[in-house]
């Protein structure tokens, strides 16, 4: 009924705007062209390019030659690949396990209205302002066994050779990643918590549910999609922790923190083997897509479209 009412003036105005609405809507498409151009040229073409380059041999300067499947065979037979893959997934999984509970709890905490919590939230965000290079340099100085935190706090167990022992270096990398990225995810959870209808809590309170019950029966289920969004960003983002690890450990000691992205860089731009490096890049892209699709599935099939938008 209301349709008929609203179409009446539309019909009357049509001569003035001269174009029917449908045509007008399709005509908007040209507005996307500049963005589309940049994205096609500097993201889609390189994406195709990386696949093509994985079948070539190139030292980064000279001519590019065809190499067939050689790169793929050599990389897939290289134990270095499996070391990098294992490390990438290990850092991804542990980072997720460490960061998600901390971010979620801090998100719930900062969503409260107490003034000091808002002030804390402002300070929590500080690490996000620093470049990964700056963070890595700061932590290197901070962990100096003689002139850093260990001496400052009088805690001798902090005086370790953090960058010299493989397990310690790996732990350090995971800690510094959490230090840098928890603030961002806290912010996402904070937004998610604020959107939970307060009536749910009122109802729970009337039913006599305690704080902990409310957290597990209302807050957590209501945050399902926020958790998926945050996890997707975290997991896909973990594939690109390149700069932090590059400056902090350079992949060392040995190859103990040489994740895939770093492996790609070192093969390509240090060893001048662009072909094998492109193979690693293709593997990175496949992992990223597979993980994102998997996480969207977790959100439920019918919600897939809107979930991607919910990012």
Partner 1 sequence: MSTVLKSNTQGAHTGTLGGSAAAKRGLGPKLRRLNIPGGLGGWLWLAIIILPVYYVVITSLKTQAGYFGQNPLALPTSPTLENYQMVLEADFAQYFMNSAIVTLGSVIPTVLISFMASFAIVRGAGRFLRLVNGMFLMGLAIPLQATIIPIYLMIIRLNLYDSLLALMLPSIAFAIPLTVLILSNFIRDVPNELFESMRLDGCSEWQTMWRLALPLTRPAIVTVAIYNGLHVWNGFLLPLVLTQSPSLRVLPLGLWTFQGEFSVNIPAVLASVVLSTLPILVLYVIGRRQLLAGLTAGFSK
Residues 248-307 that bind partner 1 (CB under 8 A): 261, 264-265, 268-269, 274, 277-278, 281-282, 284-285, 288-289, 291-293
Using the rule CB under 8 A, is 35 a contact of partner 1?
A: yes
Structural tokens at position 133? 């290079």
Using the rule CB under 8 A, is 16 a contact of partner 1?
A: yes
- Please select the residue that binds partner 1; options are 94, 98, 130, 170, rule is CB under 8 A: 130
Is 258 within 8 Å of 82 (Cβ atoms)?
no
Q: Closest distance between partner 1 and the C-beta of residue 85, in Å?
A: 14
Nearer to partner 1, 80 or 288 (CB): 288
Nearer to partner 1, 77 or 126 (CB): 126
- Please select the residue that binds partner 1; options are 65, 86, 112, 254, rule is CB under 8 A: 112
Q: How many residues bind partner 1 (CB under 8 A)?
A: 125
- Please select the residue that binds partner 1; options are 4, 8, 11, 34, rule is CB under 8 A: 34
- Please select the residue that binds partner 1; options are 159, 196, 224, 256, rule is CB under 8 A: 196
Using the rule CB under 8 A, is 121 a contact of partner 1?
A: yes
Q: Considering only residues 143-162, where is the footprint of partner 1 by CB under 8 A?
A: 144, 147-149, 151-153
Burial grade of 139 (CB within 10 A; 0-12, 13-18, 19 or more): buried
Beta bridge partners of 83: none
Using the rule CB under 8 A, is 45 a contact of partner 1?
A: yes
Q: Closest distance between partner 1 and the C-beta of residue 259, in Å?
A: 11
- Please select the residue that binds partner 1; options are 69, 73, 156, 194, rule is CB under 8 A: 194
Using the rule CB under 8 A, is 170 a contact of partner 1?
A: no
């Amino acid at each position: 009924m209301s349709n008929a009412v609203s179409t009446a003036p539309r019909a009357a105005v049509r001569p003035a705007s001269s174009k029917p609405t449908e045509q007008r809507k399709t005509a908007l498409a040209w507005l996307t062209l500049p963005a589309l151009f940049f994205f096609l040229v500097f993201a889609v073409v390189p994406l195709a390019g990386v696949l093509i380059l994985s079948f070539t041999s190139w030292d980064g300067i000279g001519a590019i030659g065809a190499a067939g499947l050689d790169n793929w065979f050599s990389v897939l037979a290289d134990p270095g690949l499996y070391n990098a893959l294992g490390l990438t997934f290990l850092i991804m999984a542990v980072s997720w396990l460490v960061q998600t509970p901390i971010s979620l709890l801090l998100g719930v905490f900062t969503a409260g209205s107490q003034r000091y919590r808002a002030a804390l939230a402002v300070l929590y965000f500080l690490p996000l302002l620093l470049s990964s290079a700056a963070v890595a340099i700061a932590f290197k100085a901070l962990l100096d066994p003689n002139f850093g935190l260990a001496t400052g706090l009088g805690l001798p167990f902090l005086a370790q050779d953090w960058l010299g022992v493989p397990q310690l270096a790996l732990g350090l990398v995971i800690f510094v990643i959490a230090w840098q990225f928890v603030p961002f995810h806290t912010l996402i959870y904070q937004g998610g918590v604020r959107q939970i209808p307060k009536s749910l809590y009122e109802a729970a309170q009337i039913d006599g549910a305690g704080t902990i019950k409310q957290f597990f029966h209302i807050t957590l289920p209501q945050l399902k999609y926020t958790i998926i969004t945050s996890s997707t960003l975290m997991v896909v983002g973990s594939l690109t922790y390149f700069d932090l690890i590059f400056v902090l450990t350079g992949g060392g000691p040995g190859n103990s923190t040489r994740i895939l992205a770093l492996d790609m860089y070192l093969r390509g731009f240090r060893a001048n083997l662009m072909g094998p490096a492109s193979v690693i890049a293709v593997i990175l892209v496949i992992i990223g897509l597979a993980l994102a699709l998997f996480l969207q599935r977790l959100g439920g099939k019918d919600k897939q479209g809107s979930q991607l938008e919910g990012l």
